[in-house]
Structure 1
Amino acid sequence: MKYGYYPGCALHGSSYDYERSVRACMEKLGVELAELDDWICCGATAAHSINRKLATALPARTLAIAERDGFEQVFAPCPMCSMELIKVGNMLKDSESLRTEMSEIVEDTVSGKTEVVNLVQIFQGCGIDELTARAVRKLDGFKPACYYGCLLTRPPKDLKFDDCENPGSMEDLLAALGAEPVRAWNYKTECCGAGLTLADGDSVEDLSYKILSNAKKHGADCMVVACPMCHVNLDMKQSAIEKRFKEKLDLPVYYLSDLVGLALGIDAKTLCIDKHFVKCGV
């Protein structure tokens, strides 16, 4: 199985631990990742508020590269990146005039035909039966609250792989590998503050505290995410949140690939779990 690979800015920077974790799992599962040649930023949280044409052209260029190099599917582990690529791909498919304009701007033909998938879909594509057959360790003892955040399932007209308000795909996957995910809690798709970590730290702490404290009250002993921004806010900011709200949370924050990797027999150091701020007892 081979995918075009779009790491995005975060996985080659502040969230390199996520990329190491993802790549370790993909290697174990025999999934080949071919990084797109000369990819650029998707525009993330800033471009659409500054220049709508630029916000369309940035993902369009990456989609043009994927089409040029013959990739029918592109894997983007960051939900912000995958959402921007999927959204622009759908816009291109729906508008001949936009296809013409964007092809001129990015100086290559782009049609939006490339399918963009996230980490959950990669594991689903491998098949739960295949994952459980390859697993060498049961995840018993893990009671994760799976946190999807704002962008993994939204906007629903573009992202259709799970229920946008009450998703359950991560829970199903982890339950099959022996974990006991907390399914009934209140904040699995609420915002953590995303890219406001530096610009408005207090708001990020307010939002992230609600998520962490609610998960803990419903019996979770850890969090699972599939987003680098969510991981930063729930993991790196957790000590500041505890200090501000005078409450010990002590919730390790795993990437989905971390727990799947542990089940597959990959050691915690290879998965870069030791690089997380909240220490994980694995």
Structure 2
Amino acid sequence: MQYSYFPGCSMDTTGITYKKSIEYVCSKIGMVLREIPDWNCCGATCAHSKNEKVALALPARNLALAEEEGLELDVAVACASCYSRMKHTVHAARQSEETRQELEEIINMPYRAKADVLSFLEIFARPEMMRLCQEKMYRTLKGMKVACYYGCLTSRPVEVTGASSTENPMEMDEIVKLTGAVPVEWDFKTECCGASHQVDAPKTARPQLERILKNAQANGAQAIITACPLCNLNLDMREGELNKANGTAYNLPIYQFTELLAVCMGAGVKDIGLQKHFFPAFDLLNEYLRKAGDTV
């Protein structure tokens, strides 16, 4: 069980809890992640807002490097933005032989576009992966109510991602159920968090975060679960700020879905970086773990 692995630029900094929890879970279930050698930034937002060919070529080089390993492995991608950019490149290369050849010329490497690009949501939602995860769990978060927040890039556009649903995806919901947590029904599963506009246009972007927090809490969630380093960072970093600025009382820890899996497999605080959260992350987990005679 192996995948080529593209970590992306955020995974050693703002996405460290996602990285550590992914690696912890993979180590427990025997999944091997082979990091692509000499990988480069996928281009994220800036490249495709400036130059379409550069936006396709940056991921193409990473995918070509993975192919160069000769193992014919699919590529696992953690960041939703990286995932989106790589999926666009694969889609464009498979749709047009002319485009594929042009990308080869730009990156000065062979690129066949044979490997699929997969998010960790897609990987862990596979029945055999869910079975392996469940076999390694001995803790439970039974009864903890959570809002599964997918964000806007893991499912859209559907002609590129091949997602089962752009409005009501269920992969994370099913994964989270393995931990004993209970996904709530709510209205903002696939709304945008504001992404980098939380930095350059906060007056416009902050209300997007508040709508997500408000709707999740109104529908009974005790935490929000994510699958993207930027979505997680925006909600985790800004929740306390929004409470202070607006006099609200949102009380929703923000976890990556792999953090819940890791905790239920026995991970401690420093194993997965729980201490690095901005909004308090311990109390809710311990409330439910204590019911089963354990703590994180």
* TM > 0.5 fold call: yes
Give the superposition deviation at 1:269: 2.4
Residue number in structure 1 paired with 2:155: 153
Tell me the TM-score normalised to structure 2 length: 0.91
Aligned residues: 281
Give the superposition deviation at 1:130: 2.4
Tell me the TM-score normalised to structure 1 length: 0.96
Aligned pairs for 1:1-282 (under 5 A) are 1-70=1-70, 71-125=72-126, 126-182=128-184, 184-280=185-281, 281=283, 282=285
Q: What SS does the aligned partner of 1:254 have?
A: strand
CA deviations on 1:46-82 (whole Å, 9 max, x unpaired) are: 1111111111110111111111112421110111111
CA deviations on 1:166-222 (whole Å, 9 max, x unpaired) are: 11111111113311111x211111111011121012223110000011000000000
Give the superposition deviation at 1:258: 0.3
- Is the 1:193–1:204 Cα contact (8 Å) retained in structure 2? yes
Give the superposition deviation at 1:161: 3.7
Q: What SS does the aligned partner of 2:161 have?
A: coil
**Partner Cα separation in structure 2 for residue 239 and residue 129 of structure 1:** 37
Aligned-residue CA RMSD (Å): 1.3
Farther-moved stretch of structure 1 (64-73 vs 163-172): 64-73
Give the superposition deviation at 1:273: 1.3
- Is the 1:204–1:233 Cα contact (8 Å) retained in structure 2? no
Give the superposition deviation at 1:85: 0.6
**Partner Cα separation in structure 2 for residue 103 and residue 12 of structure 1:** 29
CA deviations on 1:123-173 (whole Å, 9 max, x unpaired) are: 124432222222111221421100001101111111124311111111111
**Partner Cα separation in structure 2 for residue 170 and residue 13 of structure 1:** 24
Query: Which one-letter code corresponds to 1:181 in the other structure?
Result: P
**Partner Cα separation in structure 2 for residue 240 and residue 38 of structure 1:** 38
Give the superposition deviation at 1:31: 0.8
Query: Which one-letter code corresponds to 2:135 in the other structure?
Result: A
Give the superposition deviation at 1:17: 2.2
Unaligned runs of 5+ in 1: none
Give the superposition deviation at 1:92: 0.4
Percent identical among aligned pairs is 36
CA deviations on 1:8-42 (whole Å, 9 max, x unpaired) are: 11113322222111111111111111110111111
Q: What SS does the aligned partner of 1:10 have?
A: coil
